[in-house]
Structure 1
């Protein structure tokens, strides 16, 4: 994305109520650094509708040059944060960075200390591939970065390897065994390689994480990251089952934010994507349509208005070969036709015959069907 596109999205994320906006990776390119600085200066100093100013976070590799570049871009925000990480699994330490456990520990402490020396007092430090790391080393590593000054601990399921109960246990174990854990926030960071990123994030929250790292529409490396809209709406709907947890998110901005990210990135949302997909609040089966017409809560656990979506028709009905008489009658009434009894029965069977050859029966198709009926009646 261009710097201006990133700035526009950051503005929208602030309206959405996001607590921490990860604005980018300033050491990557000069335009990325420019985008981060713009976001830090404007969005990082602007109060949103509920009086909140978001934290602006930037990513840096564990080198002094990266950290300095990142800090120089983000320091203009009212609440700047630096995010760093090192691998903690045997696989990553050996084959990715060629470092021993003592070397990783020393590097982590040194980088946190250096970030603090620049004036940064809000430091997120991650344990890459935490879900495949040896537990005792992980506790030691996290304890050392807390001691050095880290305030947020990122616990990534980097390759989406965990099942929900496994990731939940990982978070619970970290909370129970990490020295100084009371001085830091545990952050869940889940990837979607097995389609479990949302479930794992929720289990992490239930087990003690108090920050969740998510993306709009679930975009991200490989199969993506945990989806903001899924995690947020799950907490909204099921918060009572999650010890009353809640988020600051203004859910009525979800749909607009989703569309903006889709447009700017060119990454299309699947029609059946939960919450923001085109079919998420649409009903085509006759059984479902009949239930919706009687009581919307029969087939909707949230309303489209909750996420800022306004349907073209009140019940989200899509006519097709599986639709029933009740849905057809309601759609016709919306178009200005009030028919019932034998007239509706006759029209319904003609509609079914035509719908066999069409994926979706549009309003224009219905109008044509009614026109044919009128012509036949008066012929």
Structure 2
């Protein structure tokens, strides 16, 4: 879900930190008044450390951290955080991706000109300012133009190294990728970069031998730091540590550069993986404040730094950093305030503002059906307790059934204080459906007084069966016999050993979670758009995980809810066939015409097939009207329609 971005200035005076040592100010010392221990900063040599046990801290809060959903920062906020990171004494701060936009370029340049030149007079400390770039000359040149103003400019050039990325993302051979990486390093050096880092994207899923080759060639080309990223957060600590050990032992020239680790937290072990990398010989850790970042985030700076501080001497041969840990809390709170990455707090604020603007009802939807009942109930309780004005409006719940608990989640929401339930007859809906009206209503009727403090509805439950049967008939989505409340077997008793589907004849309804025909099918235009971009946007389960083989296109059902993106995507396949024989090409004008005709067709037919699209394409210039739909049920289950076209002169 998106998170709140605050634009107000950061209020340093609102923070106070109590220290173990005596302080002169009553009530504690302001975080902004804390001074690091006065110690001269060692000379920064890009490829060499002052001490074999010293671990550089490479903070990527302003680049990778900002990629957290809803975590976008304004340029002034990025500058303020950069100054706070300097107080924290990070060795390197990666501040952005200059080629991505003009605003990003200017922000990186501003930080390089200011924070990148603010040398601490007592210690000599000044942060290295780093920009990221793909292995493309344009990216690298933009990075140089943005960070060259810093006292210590640095570039991180990344390239994909896993088989899946090289095949589908780069569409290049291993040899081509190696040359691309090495030539990019050489180009960066030619522009003026002294400090060049080569990053292996998705290194955690890459072949070890290939990593040795690409790192070796990059070092030969002039890289001063190399890193292997667990980009998708798939590695386990022992596994990642062994990978680092292998690369440290088998990569030509590796002892002449800094080895860095970059871990994502998809499986909750980013900190452990980072520490495992340090134990295996890495001497640069790439982290973000509060662990924010893409998907489930990155290794948190505060966890990694404090692990090294508390256990580095005893467990890791004396490794250490120069982070001023007294600044951790102030930095964490600043980043939290500016990114707003507290989802519950964000919900409270957006609901509160909506209520203030005049909303009379608010709801929080479990759109992808991922919550468990206790979890969803706790969320509703939290929002009821912490949202301004919530007692003056109706709180509603809306639950999807992907894990089969939509009814339970809805009831949990009611128990937590919700007083509106959003349901569908027979539980039909996107993918595995919604909370079924009949189940929720009868649960409240039968157990509301005893378990839920007397809650009730005014539904005329005597109409439930008639309503269910009407919806089945009109939608073609027939309920399985053992469906609660409205199934044919609901009040039938027969003992014996039960088989499944084929042997019993009890076929599952299409929207049955996990195994229903609609479980991985999408009809909403918004959902289709998301699925076409990335399946995980609206699917928490993989079809392959439960033995279902589906292509992306087969999950898209074209109908009246479909948008241009889905129609255009399906038309690509249709045009591929037609163009071979008729020479058609899909342009914007044709797409507009076809989509308009598609919309007309959906008024007369529930589902639009590829044959329908082919007819629309080939008859676009001749079709003058749609002559209506003739409905027939070919299998007693899904209504099929036939469309006849009126085409002149054919």
Same fold per superposition (TM over 0.5): yes
Spell out the pairing of 1:38-187 with structure 2 (5 A cutoff).
Answer: 38-48=110-120, 50-187=123-260
Which residue of structure 2 aligns with residue 17 of structure 1? 89
**Separation in 2, partners of 1:79, 1:103:** 31
CA deviations 1:60-85 (Å, max 9, x no partner) are 11111111111100000011001111
Which residue of structure 2 aligns with residue 232 of structure 1? 305
Q: Is the 8 A contact 1:37 1:76 kept in 2?
A: yes
Q: 1:269 to 1:47 in 2, by over 3 A?
A: farther
2:104 pairs with 1:32: yes
TM-superposed deviation, 1:138: 0.8
Give 4+ residue runs of structure 1 displaced > 6 Å after superposition. Answer: none
Which residue of structure 2 aligns with residue 243 of structure 1? 317
Which residue of structure 1 aligns with residue 328 of structure 2? 254
**Separation in 2, partners of 1:119, 1:79:** 11
Q: Is the 8 A contact 1:56 1:77 kept in 2?
A: yes
Which residue of structure 1 aligns with residue 339 of structure 2? 265
Which residue of structure 1 aligns with residue 518 of structure 2? none
1:211 maps to which of 284, 288, 303: 284
Q: 1:269 to 1:76 in 2, by over 3 A?
A: farther
Q: Is the 8 A contact 1:113 1:149 kept in 2?
A: yes
Task: State the number of aligned residues.
Answer: 271
**Separation in 2, partners of 1:60, 1:137:** 22
42-51 or 3-12: which moved more?
42-51
Q: Is the 8 A contact 1:139 1:174 kept in 2?
A: yes
Larger of the two Rg values belongs to structure: 2
CA deviations 1:270-314 (Å, max 9, x no partner) are 99xxxxxxxxxxxxxxxxxxxxxxxxxxxxxxxxxxxxxxxxxxx
Q: Is the 8 A contact 1:128 1:158 kept in 2?
A: yes
TM-superposed deviation, 1:268: 2.1
1:6 maps to which of 78, 82, 85: 78
Computed over aligned residues only, the root mean square deviation of the Cα atoms, in angstroms, reads: 1.3
Q: Which stretches in structure 1 are left out of the alignment for 5+ residues?
A: 272-379
**Separation in 1, partners of 2:344, 2:97:** 28
SS in 1 for 2:170: coil
Q: Is the 8 A contact 1:163 1:200 kept in 2?
A: yes
CA deviations 1:98-142 (Å, max 9, x no partner) are 110011011111111111110111101111111111111110000
SS in 1 for 2:98: coil
Name the structure with the higher helix share: 1
TM-superposed deviation, 1:50: 3.2
Q: Is the 8 A contact 1:262 1:269 kept in 2?
A: no
